[in-house]
Structure 1
Amino acid sequence: GNEGLTDYLEFSANVDQLSHPELSEKGMLRASTMIGNPICIPHLMLSFIDREELEKQDLAAIKKSGNSFRGKGNWPRIEEIVPGYLPVYPGREILIELFLVMQQTILVLERAVEDEDYLIREEDSEGTLLVRVPMGKGPKFRWKDHYLLPDPGWGEVSYSVNITAGTHSALSRLPEASQVLQLDLFMLPTPVVEKGSRGYFPFVLMLVEKGNGLIRSTSILAPQPDLRSMYESVSQRVLDELVKSGHRPSKIEIRTDLLFDMLLEILDEAGCSVEWVDRMPEMDEAILSMISGMS
């Protein structure tokens, strides 16, 4: 939906920024662990793999379809990505939705081949999109073309900032230290699988001292009950860790929109300067060290 597409476009733009030759290993690590990576985006994924990699549900669906496949890398697998969790075989409603989407995609492509002005009409304003909208119910159900200008806020998601009364003022009363901290939230690539529950990818909220790379604190977070709830708990976690340290840093560097937007105001009011940065080499080293130690 809107959220998935918007998140994907943002992730794609971030990956482009990381695609510098000198980043190589660290750039790839950043892309795979950053919040907003594909595991954090709600979507359906179609991949072609070997038969041995398919689950029972995949094989049953292929058998029921009456289609046959041969050779390595030619067997289709459909997975539903619920943000923060291990991919699973989609449920009935999702599969019906996928069928409708694919059906309309093929129809639009066929019409676009026949009519070069079908997707982009001369009379429309720049940025106008063709949207196929379902109309009616039952026998009267049909699809209709709409040419619409997207809302500037289309697909954007806002998060609540939830903090406990007193934590904010407690931080503001602490003495200031002449240190700069780097703050980041990233996903660990190794999932947690517990019996009787769905596997998920844990996240780490980390504070690193700029200059010497000393890790000041780490908090392990789970996307439970969902990723949104986890994100909304981050502000309180950050305040708790700073209060626990016994002093206010002179500045905190952040490189992700999510953290910057949620923390800028509350940290500024508590007397902590916040700065947006593009690069955090000390943080990258700390993340690489943590993940390497897990393998």
Structure 2
Amino acid sequence: MNQLKATSEQWKGLYEAAAAFKKAECWRYVTNSHIFGVENPFNKEIGYCCILGNGGEMYGLAVYLGTESLETLLSMLNGTQEIDPMFSQHCLMLSFDSRTELYPAELKQIKKLGLKFRGANAWPTFRLYEPGFFPWPIQNEEEVLFLSLALEQAIEVVQAYKNNLDAIFIREDNVFLTRVSDGDRQNLVWSDEWLKPMILEKANANEYLANPIDEFRLAKAKKLLKGFVGIWEIDCFFSYVPIDEGQRPYYPMIGLIVDQESEQILQFGLTDQSGIQGKMAEFLLEMIERVQVVPKEVWVCREEVFHYLKQALISFEIQVYLKSELPAMEDARIEMMDYLIGGRG
């Protein structure tokens, strides 16, 4: 994605598009189940638009980027989303909020453009939601331009279909009304097409492979083993407590090992999302080195966790089971979150 920062003129265009969208009150006509696509003319990716506000709580537009994000949106709407949307959705979002919810940089931008807003649900915010990261104000040129276009096209769609909304309701044939463009950036001509989302390639096991563990270290740990114990449940998940370091706060991932019988937390560790793949086997090996025993069984509830641990599991000849639920893990997760939130305070 183009990382050039948006110009003042481009920002002004976005605020004008947001004002027009608010004036049109699109949420009066559609619900969040009336999803339609807008093609990004800069990279041809489809942004799937969900208008917010019909329920009277939050007003705005969310543009879910690509097929994977669309699937996240659909699973949220039908109640099958397993991961908290905070950690899974990838979208550009306009929402109308109170002044206190804006970042200093957003207030500075509004002042610089000579704009004025007053009251609740009056201040436009433009945020990027990205898995593993804290929602953050958009900054680059492409995000600003595409969100401006999406807002304009949302108005067009609602005006065209407000008397025939069933036409853009979620359809069983998995075809979505999509606004596509032709022409150059300065003279885009838009039209309707009914398109199926691009097919996602299925992840393969190689995508989950962790960095190899030192075989000498594994051999040394095996020599020091004193026996076997019961069942260890192992999982990894996002923490609700963001870490604010660098340019943008992120949600770290927690690796957790729990003894099933006692429900005691045996080992945990924090890392960023990109590091969890290489850290899970390390957490397990550190645990084995410390207590000098291995479990008779390891239970996991997601295939990728098995792949993260695979080298260590094979080396120690540990039987592993993929389960739909981990009975001791849920309470351990809650305990860990309470600990982290308490530590933060």
Using the size of structure 1 for normalisation, the TM-score is 0.71
**Consecutive unaligned residues in structure 1, runs of 5 or more:** 19-30
- Maintained 8 Å contact 2:266/2:287: no
- Maintained 8 Å contact 1:208/1:216: yes
The partner residue of 1:190 within 229, 238, 241 is 241
Deviations 1:229-249 (A, max 9, x none): 224324543553465354442
Relative to structure 1, the CA distance from residue 56 to residue 139 in structure 2 (aligned partners, 3 Å threshold; closer, same or farther) is closer
Matches within 5 A, 1:271-286: 271-286=317-332
- Maintained 8 Å contact 2:268/2:283: no
Letter in 2 for 1:179: G
Residue 52 (structure 2) aligns with: none
Percent identity over the alignment? Answer: 22
Relative to structure 1, the CA distance from residue 240 to residue 43 in structure 2 (aligned partners, 3 Å threshold; closer, same or farther) is farther
Matches within 5 A, 1:28-177: 37-63=85-111, 68-93=116-141, 94-113=143-162, 119=168, 126-138=173-185, 141-153=188-200, 159-164=207-212, 166-167=214-215, 170=218, 177=228
Q: 1:219 Cα shift? A: 1.2
- 1:290 is the counterpart of 2:336: yes
Q: 1:91 Cα shift? A: 0.8
**Consecutive unaligned residues in structure 2, runs of 5 or more:** 1-64
Deviations 1:107-149 (A, max 9, x none): 22322235568548xxx99222333333332455333433333
Relative to structure 1, the CA distance from residue 6 to residue 118 in structure 2 (aligned partners, 3 Å threshold; closer, same or farther) is closer
Relative to structure 1, the CA distance from residue 254 to residue 113 in structure 2 (aligned partners, 3 Å threshold; closer, same or farther) is same
Residue 233 (structure 1) aligns with: 278
Q: 1:11 Cα shift? A: 5.9
- Maintained 8 Å contact 1:168/1:239: no
Deviations 1:134-176 (A, max 9, x none): 333245533343333345536x666341231555993896867
- Maintained 8 Å contact 1:111/1:118: no
Residue 260 (structure 2) aligns with: 210
Higher alpha-carbon deviation: 75-84 or 167-176: 167-176
Whole-angstrom CA distance in 2 between matches of 1:67 and 1:266: 58
Whole-angstrom CA distance in 1 between matches of 2:195 and 2:309: 35
- Maintained 8 Å contact 2:253/2:276: no
Query: What SS is found at the alignment partner of 1:107?
Result: helix
Relative to structure 1, the CA distance from residue 137 to residue 116 in structure 2 (aligned partners, 3 Å threshold; closer, same or farther) is same
Letter in 2 for 1:100: L
Residue 71 (structure 2) aligns with: 6
- Maintained 8 Å contact 1:163/1:236: no
Aligned residues: 267
Whole-angstrom CA distance in 2 between matches of 1:130 and 1:169: 56
Whole-angstrom CA distance in 2 between matches of 1:11 and 1:183: 26
